[in-house]
């Protein structure tokens, strides 16, 4: 019996070491991919004048390809680093000219908690069609994020956490005074929107089935009864007419 127990412990120790080695290799691979992406993008910015490029330029296509490629393999925290890098370098502005188009990007489970994503484009550019590639933000953590003016058109946010997120406002004194987020065609099914500021948003083309809207502020939002009938909870939510839901 003693020998059997000793063999079992040895096998367990070997499996633990093997798992630790695999995790270390994965960590190294992730870090190398992120560093390579960082170097490539800085080269495009400094040497290829990416910021001064025009729609259709090869440098933009290269930047998009590099970005979508690396996002497809990075973990949730490193996806955050990429998105904030693009935001800080004005490459994903939701103003007239978005330099790096993130439509179709893999941002599943991305850690964007409390990220300042004002006027940031994460969705489809231009008119939304059934053939557009849609950014996958399913399971992403956007809790407490500032999304005023963000383009989330057509984005897949199924099961995402947007609790406490600031998505819409009518306050003219709000910082940056941007427009409200664009959620046309967004999939918010099963998303956590508890306590989110959804003021004055147009939600008519948004899938809210199974979404948790408890405590959310929907004042002046455009949403129909059929949509609200499909949500998981509206407990103490502020409704479009200003009333508080039971």
Q: Does position 46 have pLDDT exceeding 80, yes or no? A: yes
pLDDT at 175: 61
Confidence label for 172 from pLDDT (cuts 50, 70 and 90)? confident
Query: Per-residue pLDDT tens for 124-163?
Result: 988 888 888 999 999 999 999 999 999 999 999 999 999 9
CA 162 to chain centre: 10
For 195, the token pair is 């306590």
Percentage of the chain beyond pLDDT 70 is 91
Percent helix / strand / coil, the chain, rounded to 5:
30, 10, 55
Q: Nearest CA to 75 among 141, 124, 121, 126?
A: 141
Q: Would the pLDDT of 176 be above 60?
A: no
How does pLDDT run across 7-24, given as a tens digit for each residue?
667 677 667 766 767 776
């Amino acid at each position: 019996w003693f020998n059997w127990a000793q063999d079992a412990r040895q096998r367990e120790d070997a499996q633990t070491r093997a798992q630790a080695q695999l995790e270390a290799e994965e960590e190294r691979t992730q870090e190398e991919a992120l560093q390579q992406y960082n170097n490539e993008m800085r080269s495009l910015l400094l040497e290829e004048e990416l910021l001064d490029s025009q729609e259709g330029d090869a440098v933009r296509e290269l930047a998009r390809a590099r970005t979508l490629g690396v996002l497809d393999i990075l973990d949730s925290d490193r996806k955050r680093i990429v998105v904030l890098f693009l935001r800080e370098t004005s490459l994903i502005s939701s103003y007239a000219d978005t330099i790096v188009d993130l439509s179709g990007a893999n941002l599943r489970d991305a850690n964007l908690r409390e990220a300042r994503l004002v006027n940031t484009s994460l969705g489809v550019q231009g008119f939304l069609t059934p053939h557009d590639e849609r950014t996958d933000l399913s399971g992403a953590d956007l809790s407490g994020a500032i999304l005023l003016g963000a383009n989330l058109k057509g984005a897949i946010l199924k099961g995402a956490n947007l609790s406490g997120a600031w998505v819409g406002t009518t306050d003219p004194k709000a910082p940056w005074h941007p427009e409200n987020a664009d959620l046309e065609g967004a999939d918010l099914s099963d998303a956590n929107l508890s306590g989110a500021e959804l003021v004055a948003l147009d939600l008519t083309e948004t899938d809210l089935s199974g979404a948790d809207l408890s405590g959310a502020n929907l004042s002046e939002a455009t949403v129909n009864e059929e949509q609200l009938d499909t949500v998981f909870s509206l407990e103490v939510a502020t409704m479009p007419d200003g009333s508080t839901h039971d």
